[in-house]
Amino acid sequence: MASVVERFGQAYRARHGSSMPDAHRDAMTAILLCRTPALGGHLLECDHCKTRDFAYHSCRHRACTKCSGAATQKWLDARRDEILPVPYFHVVFTLPEKLRRIIRKHQRELYPVLLDVVGKTLREVAKTEHGGTIGAMLVLHTWAKTLVYHPHVHCLIPAGHIDADGKWHEVNRPWFAHHGILADVFRAKLVKALRKAVPSLHLPGSIFHTNWVVHVDQPKHGTDAVLKYLARYVHRVALTDHRVVFKYRTKDHKKWRIMKLAGHEFLRRFLQHVLPKNLHKVRYFGFWSRGKRPELRKLRRDLLAQKGIQPDANPTETKDIPHWLKCPKCNAERRILGRFDSLQLEQYLERHNTSLQQPRPPP
């Protein structure tokens, strides 16, 4: 991805000028500098083969295709510790095509509105369909397989609720609520909320005569498969460094196609999914909200005991060596000799350029 930004970024900036959002500029800069001498680094020495090398610092920008691995696994592990031993519903709220351009134009104002309305829709419908307090995790996605703009919200919901006495009641059916009911409530609430958030907004009349689509099912491949899918995109945007040429299925899921894009169009599609600064794409509510995590974990332990399931044993603590501390030559552990900012690193290299190998990013 950095090579794409390096090759096409300057022309892209020149073409869009002042109309380019700051978040897009920051993302391009971070991707370009990530794991290069410009961010400084650590001087390392291998304990086994004594090779000295630099590991450059990561940018840690949430749009960077290199920086998401550790954060993604940490998020996934935390969510797995909260998953109840019950079926789950997977609900996806999508938007009519006529609304997508409007949402894209007012991202900072309307992304939070979209997530808030999805949560309120689930709570309102749950009162009628289930009763009690439900819990849910909401994750905002903004792309389809080929990076076109397609905002939608994934929801993972335990199949049950907690009553006023704190007792768990499991729901024994394969759907949360009828998709038509969810779509109607969602449309009414979202239209009202959009007008309140942006009073000058002009909504196309066609959205009131179009069937809104809400997908409702139980994960066919298990809850963990959905978690893994969501985790891949919680801490990054749309793709990885290994997915620059798109391989995607047609709508009938019968054929695979390959898509290649011009550099400018590729950057445009990628950057439109960079969220405004400090805007969060994940929400939790009900008994899955952050303030209820201790009660949720207790409920998990109680349900595991009731079902006769042994909780996962704590793994034996092992020394997990970060990948950047592993020697690229012999895979042994390297030790840190020093930490350098960009200027210090440049000066160090000037003084030691005959004794050090060419600096390189970690594998």
Find where tokens 């609900």 sit: 91
Work out the pLDDT band at 307, boundaries 50, 70, 90: confident
User: CA-CA distance, 349 to 342, in Å (whole number)?
Assistant: 11
The pLDDT tens digits of the residues spanning 309-356 come to 877 655 444 456 777 888 888 988 999 988 888 888 777 777 765 444
Work out the pLDDT band at 55, boundaries 50, 70, 90: confident
Instruction: Report residue 167 as tokens.
Output: 């007792």
Question: Is the per-residue pLDDT at 153 higher than 80?
Answer: yes
* Of 248 and 153, more confident: 153
> How far, CA to CA in Å, does 315 sit from each of 6, 9, 75, 76, 344?
43, 45, 18, 16, 41
Question: Is the per-residue pLDDT at 362 higher than 50?
Answer: no
The residue-averaged pLDDT of 90-103 equals: 94
What DSSP character marks residue 15?
Answer: H
The residue-averaged pLDDT of 282-305 equals: 94
Question: For position 363, what pLDDT does the model report?
Answer: 35
The pLDDT tens digits of the residues spanning 202-219 come to 999 889 888 999 999 988
Using the CB atoms, write b or e for 278-291: b if 16+ within 10 Å.
Answer: eeebebbbbbbeee
Please report which helix (H) or strand (E) contains residue 91, including its range. Answer: strand 88-94
- State the pTM of this model: 0.84
If we measure between CA atoms, which residue out of 43, 48, 53, 57 comes closest to residue 358? 53
Domain extents in the chain: 2-63+323-352, 86-238+273-306
The DSSP secondary structure of 159-200, one letter per residue, reads SEEE-TTS-EEE--SS-SS-HHHHHHHHHHHHHHHHHHHSTT
How far, in whole angstroms, is CA 73 from its chain's centroid?
12
Question: For position 359, what pLDDT does the model report?
Answer: 42
The residue-averaged pLDDT of 82-103 equals: 94
* Of 261 and 327, more confident: 327
Please report, as a single letter, which amino acid is at residue 80.
R
In terms of Cβ atoms closer than 10 Å to its own Cβ (0-12, 13-18, 19+), residue 210 is: middle
If we measure between CA atoms, which residue out of 237, 59, 67, 58 comes closest to residue 140? 237
User: CA-CA distance, 51 to 31, in Å (whole number)?
Assistant: 28
